[in-house]
Amino acid sequence: MSKRVKKHAPLLQWMSKAKPRTLKSIIKAADKDLVDTLCECGLNVLKGNVPLSPTQKKKLGKYKSVLRALAKKGTPLQKKKALLQKGGFLGALLGPVLGVLGHLLFQ
The whole-number pLDDT of residue 78 equals: 95
pLDDT tens digits, residue range 42-96? 999 999 998 999 999 999 999 999 999 999 999 999 999 999 987 778 888 888 8
pLDDT at 43: 93
Task: Look at residue 105 and tell me whether its pLDDT is greater than 80.
Answer: no
What Cα–Cα distance (Å) separates residue 43 from each residue in 9, 16, 81?
A: 16, 18, 15
Per-residue confidence band for 1, with pLDDT thresholds at 50, 70 and 90: low
Rounded-to-10 torsion of CA 64, 72, 36, 77: -100
Is residue 15 within 8 A of residue 26, CB to CB? The reply is yes
- Domain limits of the chain? 3-105
